[in-house]
Amino acid sequence: MTKQIVFIIALLATLGIFTYTVLRLISFFRLTKPYPVRDFGKRLRVMLKVAFGQTKIFRFPVIGFLHALVFWGFCVILIGSIEMVIDGIAGTERALGSLGLVYDIIMASGDVFALIIFVAILIFLFRRIFLHVKRFGGIEMKHSTHIDANIALTLILLLMVTLLGMNTAYVAGNLQGEIAGVYPVSNILAGLLKNFNSPAVHLIHEVNWWGHILLIFFFANYLPYSKHFHVFMSVPNVFLSRLEPLGKLPNMDSITAEVKSMLNPDTAFAEPSGDTQPIGRFGVKDVEDITWKNYFDSLACTQCGRCTSVCPANITGKMLSPRKIIMDVRARMNEKGPGLVKNGKDYSDNKSLLKDYITAEELWACTTCNACAQECPININHPTLIVEMRRYLVMEEAAAPGELNAIFTNIENNGAPWQFSPEDRLNWVE
């Protein structure tokens, strides 16, 4: 009974902290603009293929396969974690054991995956600490970012150690009795405990059981403040993927409607109606101008650097890093969001996402080739956000590069990008 009370207190504390974090994030999402979500059937297919199938991660076959194994392993081990919560509340042991063969398969898979994940995480830690992989670096990747990654990987490593320790002690303590489930790896490891007496094996089981579940509770509340928040966010982010072709750049609906109205003979010369809504800001200047999907992207970003590693602008030495653009959105919301929530949308800290976090030089370096969006393992679309910020520079501040300003002037004066007047438009033939 004491164990149940302690467990329920720990569970309620975990849920309380997690609820606070979720409500905080929801308050930030409310500051952003709408993003339509349609065609749920196609989204489900994309999610099954990209998120659960891990298809885009296999561009790096070896490391990609290891990452896929870690993801699939977590999906299986999650069932065991749910069982532990049931056991902790109800005071039972292996509560789902009545599932029979299905339970045997789940437990066997989880036991094997625990070892696979343990080995994979060791490899990931070795790469991060000793190999200095180029795409893990960059001006946006601060020392604290690397420490955060190592902490998250270490926590996963400890989760696998405690899981295997718990299963091993469970098997060793029940060798003469009935064992619920099948544990291929733990059966082998149980030989290490053959010289331990029953109380000692029970103590090892309890230490690992509590260690595992408390690590899960801590990890769940650590993730939202870590780069590894993608553990929660990546699957829904893929479901929310932009479904249009990568090369399609979105227009502003208000401007499109205005142009169509001007081209329509029935409305072109009509008097404006009295209920005309004022047009909002063109493009994106700060976090209150982005869509909620842009902010979702920033929370889901794995910071893996695959986008930046294939960016032709970055490869040729320009300032642009698509990863930095997405990371800056999250950082800026963390900075300005609390003030906006407390003081309303008129709040200003005399800073902005554009210029204080992201420079015009970075934005204009983008060729909109969409290599970053193509490569992203969770389908973040970087160019749409970049174009929206460029749209602000052009339409609000007329701050386009000189070459573009010349084109705009020619379109305005001559109806074409060239310097010829309409009467001389065929001069190019000569």
**CA–CA distances in Å: residue 138 to residues 68, 148, 305, 355, 362:** 25, 16, 9, 19, 14
The more confident residue out of 410 and 204 is 204
pLDDT of 274 over the 60 cut: no
pLDDT of residue 325: 97
Contacts of 305 (CB under 8 A, 6+ apart): 135, 136, 137, 138, 141, 323
What is the arithmetic mean of pLDDT over 264-291? 76
What is the arithmetic mean of pLDDT over 171-193? 87
pLDDT of residue 222: 95
Q: Do 59 and 180 belong to one domain?
A: yes
* Residue pLDDT, tens place only, 110-159: 999 999 999 999 999 999 999 888 899 889 999 999 999 999 999 999 99
Inside any domain, residue 174: yes
Q: What is the 3-state secondary structure (H, E, C) of 293-330?
A: HHHHHHHHCCCCCHHHHHCHHHHCCCCCCHHHHHHHHH
Q: Do 200 and 337 belong to one domain?
A: no
Q: Do 220 and 248 belong to one domain?
A: no
Inside any domain, residue 273: no
**CA–CA distances in Å: residue 137 to residues 115, 134, 280, 324, 422:** 29, 6, 38, 11, 52
pLDDT band at 272 (very low <50, low <70, confident <90, very high): low
Q: Do 158 and 13 belong to one domain?
A: yes
Closest to 353 (Cα-Cα) out of 307, 388, 318, 394: 388
* Residue pLDDT, tens place only, 365-401: 999 999 999 999 999 999 999 999 999 999 898 888 8
Q: Do 73 and 131 belong to one domain?
A: yes
User: Per this entry, what is the length of the chain?
Assistant: 430
Q: Do 87 and 203 belong to one domain?
A: yes
Chain mean pLDDT for the chain: 91
Number of folded domains that form the chain: 3
Q: Do 175 and 62 belong to one domain?
A: yes
Q: Do 67 and 91 belong to one domain?
A: yes
Q: Do 115 and 209 belong to one domain?
A: yes
Inside any domain, residue 237: no
What is the end-to-end Cα distance of the chain in Å, rounded?
Answer: 94
| pTM, 2 dp | 0.89
Closest to 326 (Cα-Cα) out of 349, 358, 348: 358
Q: Do 255 and 153 belong to one domain?
A: no
Q: Do 221 and 363 belong to one domain?
A: no
Q: DSSP assignment of 273-285, as one string?
A: PTTPPPP--SS-S
Q: Do 45 and 173 belong to one domain?
A: yes
Token pair 């339409």: residue = 395
The CATH code of the domain that includes 314 is 1.10.1060
Inside any domain, residue 421: yes
Do residues 331 and 262 touch, judged by C-beta distance below 8 A? Answer: no
pLDDT of 332 over the 90 cut: yes
Give percent of the chain above pLDDT 70.
96
Inside any domain, residue 132: yes
Inside any domain, residue 201: yes
What is the arithmetic mean of pLDDT over 261-280? 67
Q: What is the domain extent for residue 179?
A: 2-229
Helix 322-343 with 2-29: angle, nearest 10 deg: 90
Helices (H), 30-142: 40-46, 61-90, 101-126
pLDDT band at 280 (very low <50, low <70, confident <90, very high): confident
Inside any domain, residue 254: yes
Inside any domain, residue 40: yes
